[in-house]
Structure 1
Amino acid sequence: MHEILTLQLGQRSNYLATHFWNAQESYFTYSSDQESPIDHDVHFRPGIGADGTETFTPRTLIYDLKGGFGSLRKINALYEIDEPGVPQGLWNGPTVVHRQTPIVPNEYQQSLEEGSAPPQLTTESVRYWSDFNRVFFHPRSIVQLNEYELNSSLMPFENWDTGESLFSSLDKEHDLLDRDLRPFAEEADQMQGIQIFSGTDDAWGGFAARYMDRIRDEYGKTTVWFWGSEDVLTSIPREKRVLKMCNTARCISEISTQASLFIPLTLPSRLPTYVNMNIRSSWHVSGLLSAAMESMTLPSRLKSGTPSRELLDHTGNALNINGNQTIARLRMSIQQKPEAESTRINGDRHQPPDIRAQSRDTRMPTRNQSKASPEAGDKDDPDVFDMDFFPANIQEVAGARGMSKKPHVFGQAENWRGPDNGHDEEELADVEDEGFTRARRRALGLPLVHKTRVPVSFPTLDSFPRILVKAQSGSSTSIATSLSTDTTVALRIKALRSIVGRAVSINEREALGNSLGEIAEAYEEGYDSGSDEDDD
């Protein structure tokens, strides 16, 4: 069934994953005349509830700190069982149980339990990620880490070493892989891969790095996609900003070399005019990020036999051209329909159809402008995607040293999702330049472009914030997304290396600097790993 297991590490990642699971739940159909193109077995697992009824819950592990789950209970309506009593025998005296005051569910959650029409969510009513959650989880999916408390000022969970130490102590005591991950992995018939959501600029980065070590020890050949979220650094004090960049640098150094694909995620520094959001709201920010992430991975959960179905390792191989390019840049546009123009990447005119956002964003050239002035179209290319989730704050630091030069693209995977506009099966299938083999395109310095179209729109649910002017609650939205490996990655890592080199300790400065330098080299134009792969 090509199952995918999910790991959610930390509050920020759980916001993102909650949007993801709400979207997956919306794909279920409950009438005989409707059939979903989504293979639900990829992300959901069957089970038996406490009352003997069949259940269907996500294949996920949710880690968060004490107080981070909000009103979500480990025991829910599907698994109503008695909580274990206090063990006797260790203490002969009377037992006193102290219970923390439970967090009251908001009106939205209460309406879901009652089956009534839910009220509209606001930034004030969403206090935790569980406030807009629409899915039941298996009790085994909920893992609360009581050693640290959410948003604690006495013991903040924001340093890489803190997360690393926490994982080591927990793993030594419980063997987290055996206790948490292995039961889900053993249920899978043919595991497609593992996707990990985690912050990279706080202590969760250190926790994730050590978790990745254990995963690679046990599942060395399994495809692992790592979605690393980062805060926007512009409004953060300098001392904390440097700390976050040091954490991110260590994540890139240790995790990107082990992950099959490492995708950094942050709020774009410039947003198109059709996006109206509160950048201080985790609900809003994670909603925008989830729309891009969920859309890009949509082909991996289509039913077998669907022309646009693409497993995670297929997409990753299309991006990792030279064998050492695992860091990808995610971009997105809200669409009405795909345009018929040709895109020019690295000066190559033999490309799949251009997908331009039909928006009120004045930074995007219109179709007529592009025809009348090819130079203008080339100038903005490949910015046909008007939202770039690759961290821009570090790029801007390096702007004077190469950002004015057009990025060189090595590999690019594009996905357009929306209603079928009359495209035939051949047109919906992968479009790669005719007459060019992979090896020849590499020799000519041309990008390898992998393109899919899926006739499934993005669901704009009542749990999704109204941040897209084009989208209405309860409607669906057409979205174009792209993952690419290009020279932008090298610029970002080099700038990061120069900044954190002055902040880290002398003991680790040389090792971290060398590691980041080697990673950046793989994304420089003209780089070749020396491998003979694909040369025949």
Structure 2
Amino acid sequence: MHEIITLQLGQQSNYLATHFWNTQESYFTFGEGADESPVNHDVHFRPGLGADGTETFMPRTVIYDLKGGFGSMRKINALYEDQEAETPAALWNGKTVVQKQQPIDVSEYQASLDTGAATPELTTQSVRYWSDFSRVYYHPRSIVQLNEYELGSTLMPFEKWGMGEELFASLDKDHDLLDRDLRPFVEEADQMQGVQIMAGIDDAWGGFAAKYVERMRDEYGKTPIWLWGLQEPNTGIPREKRLLRLTNKARSFAALSSQVSLLIPLSIPSRSLASSVVLDKASAWNATALFNAAMESTSLYTRLKPGSDQANSATMSGVTDMLNVFGRQTIANLQMSPMEPPPATPAAEGNGMQILSGRGELISSLNEMSYEDQSDSGRGVGQDHVEPLDVDLSSLDENLGFGASRGGRTKAHLFSQLETARGDDAIKAASREEDYDKNQEQHGSHTNRTSLIPCWTATPRIFRGKDGAQRRDPLSMRTVLSTDSSVMTRLRGLRTTVVRSIGLEDREDIGNELAEVAEAYKEGWSSGSDDDDDDA
């Protein structure tokens, strides 16, 4: 079944993963006459039995977060209520004192889901934790709270890269985390396609992820591992903390780039966003919704049914091989452009079909609205540069004052790219562009086209139409995941900025590792004046 197992490391990653699972839940269709979903749900969801024998279908994921990070979510949910362990008999005959922390109130949105009432519109103020807008149930085995650190602590914040390394080493020594947390999901898989990890790379979770991946490589040496590396906005924070984040980021790239199959950094650009995107950058709920729109779109082909008319399905391994041209280019850049879909066609409007989601909500057909990407910009046989889209999420050099500008981004040498167009009319356009696609594939490019992104009440209204109004209909989206030479310039700049702030014992090793990673993006082409600029 080509299952994919997900690891969620930390608060920000769990915000992103919650959007991701909400989107996956939206692909479940019920109702007579419903179109069959193009998504193979078995890739990301596992079947099981609840406490009362009811069949369940829950994400194949392991969720790590700090104490207090789960909000009102309980480890034992309604489907497994009866399996909660009984309180063991006390071994102490003396007087006992029980201290209980005040529980976090369930959000109004979650309460409405539990009761089947109409869900309220969420806002940045009403979303306190990622669990406040989660629409799926998780298996109790998926929930792992790390009590060694507390979310939002000012006395011992979980923000230094080394803290994550030490925490993983301590936990793994006591429990063997892979055996306890990951292996049960791996053994359930018939034919595991790979592992996707969502983790912060500019805080202590980067160190935790690096150690986790290192252990995974010992156990699953050839398994594709994709890591979506999240970065928090640096706007408005003190210079020392910003430098700390950049140092953490440098350590993450140095440690992870040689271990993972693909590392896709995600950050909100500090420059003004396109007019089609309006969001509160300080809100994790808003920022990760933007990340999810791009991430979910560009990885959709890994969970499509084989032979689907929607698009060509592919595997994590196949895409990795396509993007990693010379074997050492594991860092990929992600860009996106929200697009305005046309009105529904008369045939779609008159088909009279009603489709219900897994929550029993009425939705539009996945195929009802679509768009056709007819842009000729940047096309042509032998394309060797990166075509810029509206939003570049992969910036490694944000707030540093160096590196490729928006204009310079278009001049980056392109090694390979994967373009995804959301919208069913684009599939028809593919047949008219067959000759073009064949030529593009010869130069390491491939285009997938599939259905639109559904919108839900749990998704912030961050996208705007041409008239500036909030978009509430299914979204059209164009994304490009590419390996290109801009990584070299940006990593060299990052190295120059942070190498002197790294301790003497690690400075040379990390500096050399970053330089080596950057060098891989010069292989196969001549960058001219960049050849000898590494004098940091």
TM-score, structure 2 as length reference: 0.86
Q: Cα deviation per residue 1:379-403 (whole Å; 9 max; x = unaligned)?
A: xx74441100012544853248997
**1:487 and 1:525 in contact (8 A); partners too:** no
Counterpart position of 1:275: 277
Q: Please, which runs of 5 or more residues in structure 2 have no aligned partner?
A: 341-370, 527-536
State the partner residue of 1:23.
Answer: 23
CA distance in 2, matches of 1:64, 1:279: 22
The separation in 1 between residues aligned to 2:154 and 2:122, in whole angstroms, is: 29
Q: Offset at 1:500?
A: 1.2
**Per-residue Cα deviation, 1:70-109 (whole angstroms, up to 9, x for no partner):** 0111111111125434444532213333221111111111
User: Aligned partners of 2:249 and 2:484: how far apart in 1?
Assistant: 19
Change (3 A) 1:261 1:341: same
Alignment-derived partner of residue 316 in structure 2: 312
Task: Report the equivalent of 1:441.
Answer: none
8 Å CA contact retained: 1:9, 1:198: yes
- Aligned residue in 2 for 1:324: 328
What does the per-residue CA deviation read over 1:175-221, in whole Å, with 9 as the maximum and x for residues that have no partner? 00000000000000010110000000111011100000111111111
Question: What is the CA–CA distance in structure 1 between the aligned matches of 2:32 and 2:429, rounded to whole Å?
Answer: 26
> Does residue 450 in structure 1 map to residue 450 in structure 2?
no
The structure-2 alpha-carbon separation of the partners of 1:221 and 1:392, relative to structure 1 and needing over 3 Å to count, comes to: closer
Which residues of 2 match residues 362-377 of structure 1 at below 5 A?
A: none
Equivalence map 1:334-349=2 (5 Å): 334-336=338-340, 337-344=371-378, 349=380
> SS where residue 81 of structure 2 aligns?
coil
Cα displacement string for residues 268-318 of structure 1 (whole angstroms, at most 9, x for unaligned residues): 233111211111111000111110000110111101212421111111111
Q: 2:463 aligns with which of 465, 468, 474?
A: 468
- Per the alignment, in what secondary structure is the counterpart of residue 483 of structure 1? strand
Residue correspondence of structure 1 range 6-155 to structure 2 within 5 A: 6-34=6-34, 35-81=36-82, 83-88=84-89, 90-155=91-156
* Structure 2 residue aligned with 1:481: 479
Partner-residue secondary structure (3-state), 2:57: strand
Cα separation, 2, equivalents of 1:326 and 1:207? 19
SS at match of 2:425: coil
- Separation (CA, whole Å) in 1 of partners of 2:435 and 2:474: 24
Question: Which of 418, 423, 441 is matched with 1:418 structurally?
Answer: 423
* 1:419–1:478 Cα contact (<8 Å) kept: no
> Alignment identity in percent?
53
Q: Any idea what SS the aligned residue of 2:428 has?
A: coil
Distance in 2 of aligned mates of 1:38 and 1:427? 25
Whether the aligned pair in 1 keeps the contact of 2:404 and 2:486 (CA below 8 Å) is no
Which secondary structure state, in structure 2, belongs to the residue aligned with residue 264 of structure 1? strand
Corresponding residue to 2:381 among 309, 334, 350 = 350
- The residue type equivalent to 1:93 in the other structure is G
Is the CA contact 1:232–1:266 (under 8 Å) kept in the aligned structure 2? yes
Query: 2: distance between equivalents of 1:55 and 1:431?
Result: 45
CA contact (8 A) 1:7 1:195 kept: yes
8 A Cα contact 2:373 2:426, kept in partner: no
| Aligned match of 2:293 | 291
One-letter identity of the residue aligned with 2:419: E
State how far apart, in whole Å, the 2-side matches of 1:42 and 1:431 are. 31
Structure 2 CA distance for partners of 1:29 and 1:249, relative to 1, 3 Å: same
Mapped contact 1:225–1:260 kept (Cα < 8 A): yes
Change (3 A) 1:258 1:431: farther
Q: Is the 8 A contact 1:308 1:429 kept in 2?
A: no
> Offset of 1:430 from its aligned partner?
10
- Structure 1's unaligned 5+ residue stretches are 353-377, 439-446, 529-536
Match of 2:533?
A: none
The one-letter code sitting in structure 1 at the alignment partner of 2:144 is: V
Cα offset for 1:266? 0.3
- In 1, the alpha carbon distance for the partners of 2:155 and 2:436 equals 55
What is the match of residue 371 of structure 1?
A: none
Checking the alignment, whether the CA contact within 8 Å between 1:121 and 1:463 is kept in structure 2 is yes
Distance, in Å, in 2 between the alignment partners of 1:7 and 1:457 is 26
The 5-angstrom pairing of residues 237-256 of structure 1 reads: 237-256=238-257
Closer/same/farther in 2, CA of residues 403 and 463 from structure 1, 3 Å limit: same
Secondary structure of 1:263's aligned partner: strand
Aligned pair count reads 488
Indicate if the aligned counterparts of 1:414 and 1:452 stay in contact, CA closer than 8 A.
yes
Contact 1:123 1:283 in 2 (8 A): yes
Question: Does the 8 A contact of 1:344 with 1:350 survive in 2?
Answer: no
Distance across 2 between alignment mates of 1:401 and 1:196:
29
Judge conservation of contact 2:234–2:399 (CA < 8 Å) in 1: no
Q: Which residue of 2 aligns with 1:367?
A: none
Aligned to 1:495: 493
Contact 2:403 2:493 in 1 (8 A): no
